[in-house]
Each structure stands twice: as C-alpha cells, then as structure tokens.
C-alpha cells in the first residue's frame, strides 16, 4: 500500500545546537496518521536522532548517502552495514547533487541500491533531469533510463522496498518549481515505467515523491495529484514551522 511520505533532506546544514533544536520541535509535533515523516540529517547526528525518534510512530530517520562497498579503505565514506548497525531504516541514493558533484553514474547507484537492500535499508532513489533535457522535451526518456539502469534488474521483493523521488534538477535550490501538472506528468510516467519493468501491482504500491522546491505554500496542491505521494524537501525542511505545514499538507 502506498505511503504518504514527507521527507526532509537537511543536506550539509545545521551545527549541533541548531540541529537538535529543530529536531526537538519536529518530534514534539503530532503528525497526521496517514503520513510518515522521514528526516535525513548530516551523518554525525544520525545515531542521536534515531534514538530520540525510537518512541515516535511514523517518524523515521534516513542517511543522505551510503557507499557501495560493505567496508574497506574508503576514507570519509559510510557503509550500509554501518547504518544498519545503528538502526537507520532509510537511505537517500542518487540525489542530483551526488550525481553532479561526485560523478555518481547509474551503474554506481545500482551498486549502492543493492548494498543498501542487502542490509535491509529502504532506498529513497532519486532521479531527475537537468534544464537542457527538459527544454528538449526528453525528460521522460532521460528519467526512465536512470530507473532502468539502476533499478531494472531488481527482483520483485527488492523493488518493493524502494521509494522513488523525482527531482527536476532545474527546480532545486533555484526557487523554480515544476507546476503540479508537470509533477503529475512525470510521476505518472515513472509509475507506468515501473509497471512495465515489474508489475502493475508493484507500481501502484510504490511511493513516488516530488523533490523540487516543495514549500508550505505549494505542497497541498502538489500532493493532491494522484501519482504524487509526498515530497523530498530541501530548504523548507530546515525551518520547523514550514516543514510542519508541509507534513500537514496531505489531503
């Protein structure tokens, strides 16, 4: 059954004091029973936050990334095994900033997804197109290729653990936002593609999140679209009042 998910990606923001202040405000909030809230803070806060959230229903923690290897001489990296050992349930894989800034290919992301699944983590798999692809109207083929090359060989049990987050790269951190109609078009295309790769049942049960400048002012309209199951929220997740409004935006 599809879940409504409000996921906050804090990226590389917040020192310890401000991170804890924000987190305390969020976990003190009563969230709707039909919504799962996922917070992805910087790595150094993960263990503390997952312990604080352990008594809260539908309030879960995600890592922002993991390595494709279980362990080894990879200075500065964190593995899925390590995340599992501190009870982290979700991990973001393939965020556009990782793809662009760290040259993470579809093949590399396939390896990361498999490693995360091997340790029982639920990947939030990101996909999306840059502005030039959108302008050429090749956005659907571009995104479905990302999905095919990174997720296409999973078995039915594995793909059922995946959450997809669609990121129109041209709308991340720019103040631009895809219209609700543009978001629905791509989410529907992604769901149809998952159906063609796997089954209609798997596609209909998969949560697909929108990840392009979601704000309190537009979340309700975006989340009301039939194939949009929530958001992967960046900047607006760094303010408690704003993110709480987004959590309460599901119809």
Q: Check which CATH number belongs to the domain holding 205 and give it.
A: 3.20.20.70
Question: For residues 93 and 125, is the Cβ–Cβ distance under 8 A?
Answer: yes
Instruction: Tell me, yes or no, if 193 is annotated catalytic.
Output: no
Q: Who wins on pLDDT, 212 or 160?
A: 160
The answer to whether residue 176 scores a pLDDT higher than 70 is no
Q: What is the pTM of this model?
A: 0.96
| pLDDT-derived band at 175, boundaries 50, 70, 90 | low
Which pLDDT belongs to residue 77? 97
The answer to whether residue 177 scores a pLDDT higher than 70 is no
Q: Which of 223, 221, 219, 251 is nearest to 237 (CA)?
A: 219
Question: From the CA atom positions of the chain, what is the Rg in Å?
Answer: 17
Which pLDDT belongs to residue 213? 82
| pLDDT-derived band at 172, boundaries 50, 70, 90 | confident
Per annotation, catalytic residue among 95, 139, 187, 193: 95
Task: Residue 145: give the domain boundaries.
Answer: 4-247
Number of domains composing the chain: 1
Question: For residues 49 and 78, is the Cβ–Cβ distance under 8 A?
Answer: no
Tens digits of residue pLDDT in 11-48? 999 999 999 999 999 999 999 999 999 999 999 999 99
Which pLDDT belongs to residue 138? 96
Instruction: Tell me, yes or no, if 95 is annotated catalytic.
Output: yes
DSSP characters over 136-188? TT-HHHHHHHHHHHHHTT--HHHHTT-EEEE--GGGSSSS----HHHHHHHHH
Per annotation, catalytic residue among 68, 167, 187, 193: 167
Average pLDDT over residues 163-188: 87
């Amino acid at each position: 059954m599809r879940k409504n998910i409000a996921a906050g990606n804090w990226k590389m923001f917040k020192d310890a004091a401000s991170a804890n202040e924000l987190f305390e405000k969020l976990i003190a909030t009563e969230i709707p029973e039909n919504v799962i809230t996922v917070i992805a803070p910087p790595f150094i806060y993960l263990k503390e936050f997952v312990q604080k959230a352990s008594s809260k229903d539908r309030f879960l923690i995600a890592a922002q990334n993991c390595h494709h290897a279980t362990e080894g001489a990879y200075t500065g990296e964190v593995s899925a095994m390590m995340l599992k050992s501190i009870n982290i349930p979700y991990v973001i894989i393939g965020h556009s900033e990782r793809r662009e800034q760290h040259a993470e290919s579809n093949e590399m992301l396939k390896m990361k997804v498999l490693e995360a699944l091997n340790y029982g983590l639920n990947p939030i798999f990101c996909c999306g197109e840059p502005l030039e692809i959108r302008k050429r109207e090749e956005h659907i083929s571009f995104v479905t290729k990302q999905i095919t090359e990174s997720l296409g060989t999973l078995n039915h049990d594995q793909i059922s653990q995946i959450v997809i987050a669609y990121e129109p790269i041209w709308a991340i951190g720019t103040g631009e936002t895809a219209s609700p109609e543009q978001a629905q078009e791509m989410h529907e295309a992604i769901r149809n593609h998952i159906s063609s790769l796997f089954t209609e049942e798997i596609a209909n049960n998969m949560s697909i999140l929108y990840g392009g400048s979601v704000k309190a002012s537009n979340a309700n309209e975006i989340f009301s679209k039939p194939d949009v199951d929530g958001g992967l929220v960046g900047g607006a997740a760094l303010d408690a009042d704003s993110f709480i409004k987004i959590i309460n935006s599901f119809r």
